[in-house]
Amino acid sequence: MEVASYVREGAFLADIGTDHAYLPLYLLLNGRIDRALASDVSKGPLDRARVHVQMYPSVASRIRLVQCDGLCGIENYRPNDIAICGMGGELIEKIISESEFIKNGEINLILQPMTMEHKLRKYLVSCGYEIKNESIVCEGSKLYQIMLASYTAKKSALTDLEALLGVHNIERRTREFYMLVKKHINALNKQINGLDISGRESAPLREMLEMLMALYKENEDN
C-alpha cells in the first residue's frame, strides 16, 4: 500500500474520508502507528468502517471514528499525519483551504487525488505548501498519483508540465511516470482533435503535447 509508506513511524494518523478504515487498520496491525482517527462526512461510510474495525479487537480501541465535514473539528485531536485520499483534487483543495490548523510544518498531508492533480499541485505551492515527495502507482489499468506536502509559508509556482506530472516524478522518471505521460498524450490528442473539428484554438494544448511527446521519446530511446 503506497499511501501507507508515506505515514511516519509512530504518527497519529487522521484518515479523512476513510474507506472502511483500511489505511489506519493496516498501519496499526503492522505496528507502524500507535493510534489513529478515521472520519467521514456521512454516517454510512463510518458505520461500515466501524464494522470493519470491530473485526480486529487487538487494535480496535486505538481507532477513533468521527463524523465531520473535511477537517472541521479534527484539530481538537491533534493528528500529525493527515491522509486525504480517493476523492477529486478540487474537493481536496477545498478541504485544505477551509482549515487553518494544518498550516503547521509539523503536520504532513498525504494526498491521493483521483482527478485534477495539476490544479491541486498549483494550489498547494501557491498557498505556501511544499510538495516534499510524490509517486505514481499503477493498479490494473489505472494510475494513481500520491503527494506528500507540508506547510512552509513559502509560496511558489509550477510550470504547466510540473503541475501535470509532478516535479519529483519528472526527476525520477520511473516506468509508471512514462505510463502517465502516455496517458496524457492520448488524452491531449483527443482534446486537440475535438477542438480542430469545432474550429477552436488548440495551440496551447499542442505545446503541451510536444513537451510530453519529447519526454516519452526519451523512454523509447532508452
Q: Is pLDDT at 43 greater than 80 in this prediction?
A: yes
Largest CA-CA distance found in the chain, in angstroms, rounded: 63
- pLDDT of 69 reads 95
- pLDDT of 24 reads 97
The closest of 114, 137, 150, 133 to 19, measured between CA atoms, is 114
Q: Is pLDDT at 209 greater than 80 in this prediction?
A: yes
Average pLDDT value for the chain: 95
- pLDDT of 97 reads 97
Q: Residue 5: which pLDDT band, with cuts at 50, 70 and 90?
A: very high
pLDDT, tens only, 85-121: 999 999 999 999 999 999 999 999 999 999 999 999 9
Residue 193, helix vs strand vs coil:
helix
In the chain the first and final C-alpha atoms are separated, in Å, by 29
Q: Is pLDDT at 220 greater than 80 in this prediction?
A: no
The helix (H) or strand (E) run that includes residue 85 is: strand 81-87
- pLDDT of 218 reads 87
Query: How far is CA 47 from each of CA 13, 18, 52, 78, 153, rounded to the nearest angstrom?
Result: 19, 11, 9, 23, 38
- Long-range Cβ contacts of 164-171 (<8 Å, 24+ apart): 164/117, 164/118, 164/208, 166/117, 166/121, 166/131, 166/134, 166/136, 167/131, 167/134, 168/131, 168/133, 168/134, 168/135, 169/134, 169/135, 169/136, 169/145
**Phi, psi (rounded to 5 degrees) for 40:** -155, 155
- pLDDT of 221 reads 73
- pLDDT of 153 reads 98
**What percent of the chain clears pLDDT 90, i.e. is strictly above it?**
92
The Cα 44–Cα 178 span in angstroms is 38
Question: What is the pTM assigned to this prediction?
Answer: 0.95
Q: What is the mean pLDDT of residues 153-180?
A: 97
Q: Rounded to 5, what percent of the chain is helix, strand, coil? A: 45, 25, 30
Q: Which residue has the cell 503541475?
A: 163
Within 10 Å of residue 178's Cβ, how many Cβ atoms?
Answer: 17
Q: What is the mean pLDDT of residues 20-28?
A: 96
- pLDDT of 142 reads 94
- pLDDT of 219 reads 81
Q: Which grid coordinates are listed for 103?
A: 498550516
- pLDDT of 104 reads 96
**Phi, psi (rounded to 5 degrees) for 108:** -100, 135
| CATH no. of 2-158 | 3.40.50.150
- pLDDT of 160 reads 96
Q: Is pLDDT at 222 greater than 80 in this prediction?
A: no
Query: How far is CA 97 from each of CA 49, 61, 80, 219, rounded to the nearest angstrom?
Result: 26, 31, 18, 37
- pLDDT of 19 reads 84
- pLDDT of 120 reads 98
Bridge partners, 39 (sequence order): 16, 66
Q: Residue 16: which pLDDT band, with cuts at 50, 70 and 90?
A: very high
